[in-house]
Structure 1
Amino acid sequence: MKNSHVFLSVLHYPAVNKDKKWICTSFTTLDFHDIARPARTYELGAYYIVQPFEAQQYIIKEQIKYWTEGFGASFNPKRSQAGSIVKLSSSLTEVIEDIQKNFNKYPVLIATSAKRYENTISYKDMKEIIEKKENPFLILLGTGWGMPEELVKSCDYVLEPILGAGDYNHLSVRNAAAIILDRLFSPNR
């Protein structure tokens, strides 16, 4: 696959609430397909769902199994293809270790945020760096009220915010994922 050196991760932990306190958010089944499908469309290496709670992991595992091995696989082969790139992890560290194991390199971490940081980069510049294929890349998407600021600041890059026509700026993680992937990987950009 063209972008098999690029990975996407939705972090249910760590996330923050509106008071900037660290929390763990709940998985929603919409995130499974609505992020897996664009990740597969743009030929990413994998889409990781980071969820530390065992009860939530059970739901995610069952959904993966249903769409890749169960009735869903034969009922809708396109969704099965998208589901086949979904991986479940207990932590961001586990995701990084999995990528590092396969590439013998630590992935370049790319945070996403609704605000600018010191290491903010444009989509055009990030696309050029990714296209060189010199490293594996991991794009991090936050849930809740986003990722902790400490995590965002520790990343190699932060993608510029997705801005709308006005001052409202609160996209769902599913919408943001599709826009980000299109901006980075569409051949029309």
Structure 2
Amino acid sequence: MKNRHVFVSVVHYPAVNKDKKWVVTSFTTLDFHDIARPARTYELGGYYIIQPLEAQQFVISEQIKYWTEGFGSRFNPRRAEAAKLVRLVSTITEAVEDIKKRTGKHPKLIATSAKKYPQTVSYTEMSNIIQSSDETFLILMGTGWGMPEELVSSCDFVLEPILGAGDYNHLSVRNATAIILDRLFSPNR
């Protein structure tokens, strides 16, 4: 796959709530396919769901099994193909370690945020870096009210915010991921 050195993740912890307190957000079953399918479309190396809560992990694990081994894999093989990219981990560190084990390289972390940071880069810039590099990359997609500033600030890169036509800026993680992957990997950009 063309972009197998790039991975995407949905970070349920650490996330922040509207008061900027650290929280764990809930997995939404829509996120499973609505992120796995664009990850497959743009030929990424994998999609990590970062969720530390055991009850949530059970639901996610059952969904992975259903679409990769169960009835879903036979009912809709195209969705099963995308579902094979999904990996469930408890922490960002666990995702990084899994990528290191799979690729032999420590991934560069790319954060997403609705605000700019000193290491903010444009989509064109990031796309050029990704396409011309032999490094691996992990894109961190925030949930809730985003990721803590400490986490975003610690990343190697931060993608510029997705801006709409006005001042409303509250996309679902599914929508944001699709937009970001298209901006980074579409041959039509």
Q: Do both proteins adopt the same fold according to a TM-score greater than 0.5, normalized to the shorter chain?
A: yes
Q: Percent identity?
A: 74
1:38 aligns with 2:45: no
TM-score by length of 1: 0.99
Q: 1:14-69 deviations in whole A, cap 9, x for unaligned?
A: 00000100000010100000000000000000000000011100000000000111
The 5 Å alignment of 1:158-177 reads 158-177=158-177
CA distance in 1, matches of 2:184, 2:93: 24
Q: What amino acid does structure 1 have at the position aligned with 2:128?
A: E
Rounded Cα–Cα distance in structure 2 between residues aligned with 1:133 and 1:178:
22
State the Cα distance separating 1:100 from its structure 2 match: 1.2
Q: Under a length normalisation based on structure 2, what TM-score does the superposition of the two structures give?
A: 0.99
Question: What residue number does 2:14 align with?
Answer: 14
Q: Give the aligned residue type for 1:165.
A: A
Preserved CA contact (<8 Å) 1:5 1:133: no
CA distance in 1, matches of 2:90, 2:106: 18
- The 2-side partners of 1:115 and 1:75 are apart by 42
5 Å matches for 1:1-189? 1-189=1-189
Q: How far 1:102 sits from its partner (Å)? A: 2.2
Distance across 1 between alignment mates of 2:57 and 2:108: 26
Distance 1:123 1:185 in 2: 9
Number of residue pairs aligned between Structure 1 and Structure 2: 189
Q: Which runs of 4+ in 1 moved over 6 A?
A: none
CA distance in 2 between partners of 1:100 and 1:33 (Å): 25
Structure 2 counterpart of 1:144, one-letter code: G
Q: Deviations over 1:117-144 (max 9, x none)?
A: 1110000000000001310000000000
* Gap regions ≥5 residues in structure 2: none
Structure-2 separation of matches of 1:43 and 1:107: 17
Deviation at 1:151, TM superposition (A): 0.2
Amino acid at match of 2:150: E
How far off its partner does 1:104 sit? 2.3
Which structure 1 residue ranges, 5 or more long, are not aligned? none
Displacement of 1:101: 1.6
AA partner of residue 122 (structure 1): S
